[in-house]
Amino acid sequence: MKDKLISVIIPVYNNSDITRAVDSILKQENYSSFEIVIVNDGSKDNTAEIIENYIVYNNLNMVKLITQSNKGPAAARNNGILNSKGEYIAFLDSDDCWEADKIKKQIKVFQDNPNIKLVCTSLNNIVHKAFPNLQEISFNKLLYRNYIFTSTVIVEKSALFHAGLFNEGQKYSEDYDLWLRFSQKYKCMFINESLVTYGGGKRTFGESGLTSKLWLMEKGELSNYKRLLKNKQIKLLTYISASSFSFLKYLTRVLRTSIYKAHKKFKTAD
């Protein structure tokens, strides 16, 4: 049986070290039916030149580079999806890397469970002790915790289009918005195994970059719940419950980040 084509979408902005991410795709075990669509989101450094040279030097016919004006990761991912040929879509941010057996393990879940339309994994050596190796992520479960990190996702393309793509007008928590919409329509499966290294191993929040903007991310998350309530997709009590729990998590993150940065500063002073 011929392997189905997977299109891997990589948005990039000013990251000349993107080749690490691409290398992690090329080194996938027992799966070679993929294309890589890199969307240069208006980089102002030499990122595009590095990618072009990398493609030519390594004779990578399966890698496509698209350049657009700076519109943000949501628009870049959508552009990549619209210019893809695969039956499945995978996502990888330019500073993340896959483990060599990631695709193989996710594809097996699709093959063993034809009704599953999205498979994601854990990352950064995190394993959820309360979960079995495979855990279905329902809409109700996802409301209270986002288990779907975008760089871990492989999703059926036709289902993705039916659920709708990334909201380009939303700058924070736009991926969570998509996965909430998706999980209302389709079954999602979580592999309780770390198959992605996020940002070179940095924490998923509290360090430099997008994830350090905790309040903006929290506002984005709260707006997702508000939209669900407005569209009558959740009840008022669920909205209050999910929003309150989200805000408590935000306060916890702020506290943990403050402690982490104070500890880091103290160690530097030593």
Q: Over the stretch 216-258, which tens digit does the pLDDT of each residue have?
A: 999 999 999 999 999 999 999 999 999 999 999 999 988 888 7
- The pLDDT value recorded for residue 229 is 98
Q: Which residues of the chain have pLDDT under 70?
A: 1, 200-212, 260-261, 263-270
The rounded distance, in Å, linking the Cα atoms of 93 and 128 is: 23
- The pLDDT value recorded for residue 207 is 47
No. of helices (H) and no. of strands (E), the chain: 9, 10
Contact 46, 81 (CB under 8 A): no
- The pLDDT value recorded for residue 208 is 45
Element (H, E) at 12: strand 6-12
The fold adopted by the segment(s) 6-199 is Spore Coat Polysaccharide Biosynthesis Protein SpsA; Chain A (3.90.550)
- The pLDDT value recorded for residue 125 is 85
Helical packing angle, 174-185 and 73-82, nearest 10°:
50
Element (H, E) at 90: strand 88-91
Identify the CA nearest to 8 among candidates 150, 202, 126, 115: 150
